[in-house]
Amino acid sequence: MPTGPAKNGRRRPTRTAGPAKRQADYLSQTRREHAHEIAEDYVEAIADLAAEAGQARVVGLARRLGVTHVTVIRTIARLKKAGFVTAQPYRGISLTDEGCALAAMCKNRHETVAAFLRSLGIPEQVAEMDAEGIEHHVSPETLAAFKACLRKPRP
Amino acid sequence: MPTGPAKNGRRRPTRTAGPAKRQADYLSQTRREHAHEIAEDYVEAIADLAAEAGQARVVGLARRLGVTHVTVIRTIARLKKAGFVTAQPYRGISLTDEGCALAAMCKNRHETVAAFLRSLGIPEQVAEMDAEGIEHHVSPETLAAFKACLRKPRP
DNA sequence: CATGGACGGTAGCCATGGCTACATTATTGC
DNA sequence: GCAATAATGTAGCCATGGCTACCGTCCATG
Ligand SMILES: [Mn+2]
Ligand SMILES: [Mn+2]
Ligand SMILES: [Mn+2]
Ligand SMILES: [Mn+2]
């Protein structure tokens, strides 16, 4: 029932401007992180496949990412434009230096997050699942804190 | 240089099928979580505004979420269809019972994640920032582990 | 009680990231 | 060598979630 025409003369002058603005910044930042998320998961998968099979190819990526090959092809085109990968039609996909660096960072961060969760007693599979989403929203500060916790485990 | 026609006869028979499938499942699940993410942030914001100002209105949500009022209106339409809110044109936005329950869950989870990060020594603002993204990817198991850590802090 | 300015809504644009259906190219097994 | 098959690519659909530009409502205040 709190719905209806604005009661009480002059709706509050939005004195919530401060906190609201801060929250808006946080959410905007999270949205920016999401835009990066796909790139991160792709370069990580490409690096893995290159290590495992010598070469990353479209179907391999599709299988590993749980999407169709069409989605992979279109995403690769964007990653190419963004400078993370190189690829020619009907050839394998390779990481640029930038892509390689990103993959290394992501791999390290992913493993740290997963290890940290496991250290809290989370079962392997659940930790891996959560890490897949959490990793993209972990700041350097938080990552450092996770690493610190892993170095000195509690008794 | 690992690019070129598939070398070595018969490309590996994709014996990576097991692990790849598992990874694909994790990533698919993360994508599903993302689809829910907006709904979660919206109902949380609506509950906050209702508590603060007596009523959640479009501009208030827009300011708090860091998007334009147009985006809010369209998203609210989807949330309405999904059964989380009720709203009539030019009136405030209210949560359904389901939306209210979701908001309560999200608020609790958000606060737990933020408090956990702060307990690791992460500065207030950074913790709040990270929590805004992490919260949506925390399983019940992990949430419980965070709460357990908060109950018995280390010396 | 009229109206200006804040609020709410519509139209239509764009990018992203899914998909199916169909076409083309490479590789391989015969 | 060649046909079958697997891999890759294209066309075109949809939903989501942003946006600007413009138009309609409402109500607090003069
Ligand atoms: Mn991930
Ligand atoms: Mn959030
Ligand atoms: Mn939140
Ligand atoms: Mn996310």
C1' (D24) to CA (B104) span, angstroms: 36
Q: Which residues contact A8 (CB under 8 A, 6 or more apart)?
A: none
The tokens describing A99, both together, are: 């892509």
Number of domains in chain B: 1
Provide the 10 A C-beta neighbour count for residue A154.
9
CA-based torsion, A134, A140, A142, A144: positive or negative: positive
- Start-to-end CA span in chain B (Å): 53
Residue B10 lies in a domain: no
Q: Which residue of A has its CA nearest to B21?
A: A64
Distance A133 CA to ligand 4 centre (A): 6
- Checking each nucleotide's C1' against the CA of B90, the nearest proves to be C8
C1' (D8) to CA (A92) span, angstroms: 11
Residue B102 lies in a domain: yes
Residue A109 lies in a domain: yes
Residue B3 lies in a domain: no
- Whole-prediction pTM: 0.90
Residue B59 lies in a domain: yes
DSSP run (H or E) holding B32: helix B17-53
Nearest CA to B116 out of A62, A133, A142 is that of: A142
| Inter-chain touch A138–B130, beta carbons under 8 Å | yes
Q: What is the pLDDT of residues B11-32, one digit of tens each?
A: 333 344 478 899 999 999 999 9
Domain containing residue A136: CATH number: 1.10.10.10
pLDDT category, B72, cuts 50, 70, 90? very high
Residue A129's domain spans which residues? 24-151
More confident residue, B18 or A126: A126
